[in-house]
Chains A and B, each alone.
Chain A
Amino acid sequence: MSKVLGLNGNAAAAHAMRQINPHVVAAYPITPQTDCVERFAEFVSEGLVDTEFVTVESEHSALSACIGAAAAGGRVMTATSSQGLALMWEMLYIAASMRLPIVMMVVNRALSGNINIHCDHSDTMGARDAGWIQLFSENAQEVYDNMIQAVRIAEDMRVRLPVMVTQDGFIISHAVERVELLDDDAVKNFVGPYRPLYPLLDVRNPVTYGPLDLFDYYFEHKRSEIEAIDNCLPVIEEVGKEFGKLSGRSYGLLEEYRLEDAEYTVVALGSTCGTAKEAVDRLRDRGKKVGLLKIRCFRPFPKDEVIRALAPRKGVAVLDRSVVFGGFGGPVFTEIRSALYDLPSRPLVIDFYYGLGGRDVYVEDIEKAFARIEEVVRAGRVEKHIDYLGLRE
């Protein structure tokens, strides 16, 4: 029997962590993630979990402790945000290259400077090349569901990679919503017992993690890391389907919203997808053939599925909630436009930077994005590839 509660995204994540009952959690508090770790610390002190909770002095140490614990052979989780994720940067790559199935909840928050605590995706996008799987959530329910699936994905013997589950700062992390929790036992069975691989605590079979690796092997190791992350797309889909059987909520790599006959499409990640769905509904009511492509799994990038979903469209407006300074568009735009390049006839693609530092995005903003891509398609060419939504000129 599942249970319906009013929870914010942080609490939803904390409950998932409680039900997963990891061996080790090492975390450092940072707004807006604090609430999640605080709640989890309560579960620890109430004896509701068996977790060894390590209170470290920084995020660099948090992920370092997680790496050590995961290499030792434990199921390990952590959570962070913004500057915290930035401070973890060097350890992120190490966790992935050692193929440690750590699950980390990231509350998306802008990076300094100036100091801002509100949502954008610059923290997670800054870590997009680190070798972690990245799952984005649209609401608190998806945060909960993604956390549970992340454990299965990370620990799958075909994957063995760390996973980030993201949620938008404050918009999801602090807004109370209806969240359906599975039974504790159902989650326990779904994630299953932890199966360690080459644990350091197995002293009869000693192994070395992270040795010096120079010009003769480093390249080959990176090649196998590329293979590992590319190969996990089918596992993410498999776990999403299996989770659907358990919960009634199936997950894919993408979500297509009213896309079947859509001529114009917005592509977005995270909570903005909810706003975009409302914009799609309103425009559909006015007879516009529009739809939304929501990217749930950004890393690995589901290129083939994106091509399939976008190839028949006339125009695509990508919404990027983080900036690539000096780049040709945001991280989502760059991937999408590049994926479509080989098509014999491809949709026109434009990019909008939006929502930086928590700037609100309204249904009307998304409607503007649709209006613009329609104009671009009518003109038959893109004059301005990158534009802004909700910015004062």
Chain B
Amino acid sequence: MSKLKSWKELPLGGLILEAGNARTYKTGDWRTERPQVDKAKCINCFFCWAYCPDASVIVDADRGTMEGFDYDHCKGCGICASVCPKQAITMIPER
């Protein structure tokens, strides 16, 4: 997130004047645990991708591989770790 602005720098009426700037808002910054995949165990079944409530599991559809996580948006809920049939995902505490 960019530096927080003072009240004097804000657009009138709490408006957002820039279109589509939700893209720059990193919603994963309050996560307390992060998922980590051990690709040696992973069988690319995509269960984690299907269950993630936040579309934060990155896959390569062409190659059919699970590639990792989008940490800007992953909330650390642990669902992916819990549904993984191979226990390939471990939840690591964020400092």
Q: Which residues of A line the B interface, CB within 8 A? A: 97-100, 160, 197-198, 205-211, 213, 216-217, 219-221, 223-224, 227-228
- Bound together, the chains give a CA A213 to CA B14 distance in angstroms of 8
In the complex, are the beta carbons of B13 and A97 less than 8 A apart? yes
In the complex, are the beta carbons of A221 and B17 less than 8 A apart? no
- Bound together, the chains give a CA A184 to CA B51 distance in angstroms of 65
Known contacts A216-B4, A220-B5, A206 near B10 by CB under 8 Å: no
In the complex, are the beta carbons of A220 and B17 less than 8 A apart? no
Residues of B within 8 A of A198 (CB): 11-13, 15, 17
Q: Which residues of B line the A interface, CB within 8 A? A: 4-8, 10-17, 19
In the complex, are the beta carbons of B14 and A221 less than 8 A apart? yes
- Bound together, the chains give a CA A213 to CA B5 distance in angstroms of 13
Known contacts A216-B4, A220-B5, A207 near B16 by CB under 8 Å: yes
Residues of B within 8 A of A98 (CB): 13-15
- Bound together, the chains give a CA A47 to CA B36 distance in angstroms of 69
Residues of B within 8 A of A211 (CB): 14, 16
Residues of B within 8 A of A100 (CB): 13
Most A CB contacts (10 A, CB to CB) among B5, B15, B16 go to B15
Residues of A within 8 A of B7 (CB): 219-221, 223-224, 227
In the complex, are the beta carbons of B10 and A220 less than 8 A apart? yes
User: Taking the nearest CB of chain A, how far is it from the CB of B12, in angstroms?
Assistant: 5
User: Taking the nearest CB of chain A, how far is it from the CB of B29, in angstroms?
Assistant: 11
User: Taking the nearest CB of chain B, how far is it from the CB of A136, in angstroms?
Assistant: 26
- Bound together, the chains give a CA A281 to CA B1 distance in angstroms of 66
Looking at chain B's contact residues, the main secondary structure is loop
The 12 listed contacts between A and B (C-beta, < 8 Å) are A97-B13, A97-B14, A98-B13, A198-B13, A208-B15, A208-B16, A213-B14, A217-B4, A217-B10, A220-B6, A224-B10, A224-B12
In addition to A206-B19, A209-B15, A217-B14, 12 A-B residue pairs with Cβ atoms within 8 Å of each other are A99-B12, A99-B13, A198-B15, A198-B17, A205-B17, A207-B19, A208-B16, A209-B13, A211-B14, A213-B14, A217-B10, A221-B10
Residues of B within 8 A of A213 (CB): 14
- Bound together, the chains give a CA A160 to CA B6 distance in angstroms of 20
- Bound together, the chains give a CA A198 to CA B17 distance in angstroms of 8
User: Taking the nearest CB of chain A, how far is it from the CB of B72, in angstroms?
Assistant: 17
- Bound together, the chains give a CA A216 to CA B10 distance in angstroms of 12
Most A CB contacts (10 A, CB to CB) among B12, B14, B17 go to B14
Which 10 residue pairs spanning A and B have beta carbons closest together?
Answer: A99-B13, A220-B7, A208-B16, A223-B7, A206-B19, A221-B14, A98-B13, A224-B7, A99-B12, A207-B17
Residues of A within 8 A of B4 (CB): 216-217
- Bound together, the chains give a CA A198 to CA B5 distance in angstroms of 21
Question: Chain A residue with minimal CB distance to B20?
Answer: A206
- Bound together, the chains give a CA A216 to CA B2 distance in angstroms of 12
- Bound together, the chains give a CA A42 to CA B43 distance in angstroms of 74
- Bound together, the chains give a CA A205 to CA B16 distance in angstroms of 11
User: Taking the nearest CB of chain B, how far is it from the CB of A390, in angstroms?
Assistant: 43
User: Taking the nearest CB of chain A, how far is it from the CB of B21, in angstroms?
Assistant: 9
Residues of A within 8 A of B14 (CB): 97-98, 210-211, 213, 217, 221
- Bound together, the chains give a CA A186 to CA B16 distance in angstroms of 37
User: Taking the nearest CB of chain A, how far is it from the CB of B87, in angstroms?
Assistant: 36
- Bound together, the chains give a CA A205 to CA B19 distance in angstroms of 8
User: Taking the nearest CB of chain A, how far is it from the CB of B44, in angstroms?
Assistant: 36
Question: Chain B residue with minimal CB distance to A227?
Answer: B7
Residues of A within 8 A of B15 (CB): 98, 198, 207-209
Known contacts A206-B19, A216-B4, A197 near B12 by CB under 8 Å: yes
Question: Chain A residue with minimal CB distance to B6?
Answer: A220
Residues of A within 8 A of B12 (CB): 99, 160, 197-198, 224, 228
- Bound together, the chains give a CA A66 to CA B37 distance in angstroms of 52
Residues of A within 8 A of B19 (CB): 206-207
- Bound together, the chains give a CA A216 to CA B16 distance in angstroms of 15
User: Taking the nearest CB of chain A, how far is it from the CB of B14, in angstroms?
Assistant: 4
